């Protein structure tokens, strides 16, 4: 543990909270984070940390140590959600109608900018380079890919990210090796039959029947075709079928999501969904179009990186801080960075019943216990120094 880092972040706690609240009051959704980018850039200017603005939004900064070494990337997402804030008593309530930081990205950005301030003061002792990525558009799973296209991950040896987590007790840290967040894919299926009058079904091909059979039948993919030790979710969340009560439907549109931790499982489900759709369309005399869109990669903590996070957290905050949260079928586009370099993704607990911060992410009442912010800021910084100080990894 670097005591100078701990002392610096402790001294910056009020600024850390103020920066987070400023972002919270001025939320901007995916690829619209212009003022958020400006605020981050302005703070980096104050700190004399070099950076580049990304296209169309986001910031990539860099702190070069005095000694040669590896490159580590620290990432924070910065976008808000199209959610109406319901916390009307907050002094820092969102000032933008139907937009809100309902997932903690304001906290992530504030923690990373504070970590940057602390790291910049010890850069003479750093062996290697620390990149600081303030990433847009995580909520639509496009930001990470956009940053990678612009060189953010080039020559990077290790990546580390943090997410505030309302289901975990405030101030606790979770980063077990293995799966953390699932790959999230989107399925679109369009059945086409032959419409007609409800009283003459023999003259038609009913798209509603094809769609209904598809929804019920595909659940056997998970229950009968997938290894039960490899979790998977197949959900159809939207159906648009037919136009009138006495007209047999000619068209049916279905949309759904698939969540997996294992890419072999993912490929099997994708293949089976297409086969099921084709067979059902053929059986009933219709046609079908299937689109399978891979939105994010799974977030799987590399063993050594996760072990280092746990070790750093114990040294910095005590052994009782470390927890092991189970994997979630929720998605995070941080997995795209992990497909390019080893790394880890930690959860920082922000749940505190007394402060009413246990609401689910994406809920209009979501908020964070700001006592946890200094934990996240310090973990960013201490992990980076610990990784770069190792002779081998």
Could you tell me whether strands 50-53 and 59-64 are parallel, antiparallel, or unpaired per DSSP bridges?
antiparallel
DSSP codes joined into one string, 239-290 = EEE-SSTTEE-SEEEEEEEEEES-HHHHHHHHHHHHHHHHHHHHHHT-EEEE
Q: Which residues are catalytic?
A: 79, 138
Residue 28 main-chain phi, psi, to 5 deg: -135, 135
Q: CA-CA-CA-CA torsion for 85, 86, 89, 92, nearest 10 degrees?
A: -10
> Please, where are the H alpha helices in the chain?
3-11, 13-25, 34-47, 105-120, 143-149, 207-217, 219-220, 263-284, 303-317, 335-338, 373-389
Cβ atoms of residues 102 and 81 within 8 Å: yes
| Residue with token string 């749940």 | 351
Measured between alpha carbons, how far is 343 from 338 in angstroms, rounded to an integer?
Answer: 6
Measured between alpha carbons, how far is 357 from 326 in angstroms, rounded to an integer?
Answer: 20
| Structure tokens that stand for 382 in this block | 């201490």
Left (φ > 0), alpha (ψ -120 to 50) or beta: where does 58 sit?
left
């Amino acid at each position: 543990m670097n005591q100078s880092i701990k002392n610096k972040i402790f001294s910056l706690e009020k600024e850390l909270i103020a920066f987070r609240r400023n972002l919270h009051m001025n939320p901007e959704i995916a690829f619209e984070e212009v003022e958020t980018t400006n605020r981050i850039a302005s703070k980096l200017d104050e700190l004399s940390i070099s950076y580049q603005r990304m296209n169309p939004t986001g910031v990539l900064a860099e702190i070069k140590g005095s000694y040669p070494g590896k490159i580590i990337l620290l990432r924070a997402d910065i976008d808000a959600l199209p959610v109406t804030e319901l916390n009307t008593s907050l002094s820092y309530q969102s000032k933008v109608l139907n937009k809100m930081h309902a997932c903690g990205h304001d906290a992530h950005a504030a923690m990373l900018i504070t970590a940057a301030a602390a790291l910049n003061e010890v850069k003479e002792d750093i062996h290697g380079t620390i990149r600081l990525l303030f990433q847009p558009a995580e909520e639509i799973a496009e930001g990470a890919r956009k940053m990678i296209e612009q060189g953010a991950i080039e020559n990077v040896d290790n990546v580390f990210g943090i997410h505030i987590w309302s289901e975990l007790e405030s101030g606790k840290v979770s980063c077990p090796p293995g799966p953390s967040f699932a790959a999230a894919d989107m399925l679109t299926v369009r059945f086409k039959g032959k419409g007609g009058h409800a009283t003459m079904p023999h003259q038609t091909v009913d798209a509603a029947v094809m769609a209904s059979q598809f929804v019920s039948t595909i659940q056997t993919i998970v229950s009968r075709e997938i290894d039960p030790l490899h979790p998977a979710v197949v959900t159809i969340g939207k159906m648009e079928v037919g136009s009138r009560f006495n007209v047999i439907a000619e068209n049916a549109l279905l949309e759904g999501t698939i969540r997996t931790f294992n890419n072999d499982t993912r490929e099997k489900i994708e293949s089976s969904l297409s086969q099921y759709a084709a067979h059902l369309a053929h059986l009933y005399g219709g046609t079908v179009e299937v689109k399978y869109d891979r939105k994010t990669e799974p977030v799987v903590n590399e063993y050594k990186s996760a072990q280092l996070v746990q070790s750093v957290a114990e040294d910095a905050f005590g052994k009782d801080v470390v927890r092991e949260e189970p994997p979630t079928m929720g998605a995070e586009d941080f997995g795209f960075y992990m497909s390019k370099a080893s790394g880890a993704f930690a959860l920082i607990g922000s749940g505190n019943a007394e402060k009413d911060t246990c609401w689910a992410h994406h809920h209009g009442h979501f908020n964070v216990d700001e006592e946890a912010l200094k934990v996240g800021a310090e973990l960013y910084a201490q992990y980076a120094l610990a990784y770069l100080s190792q002779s081998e990894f």
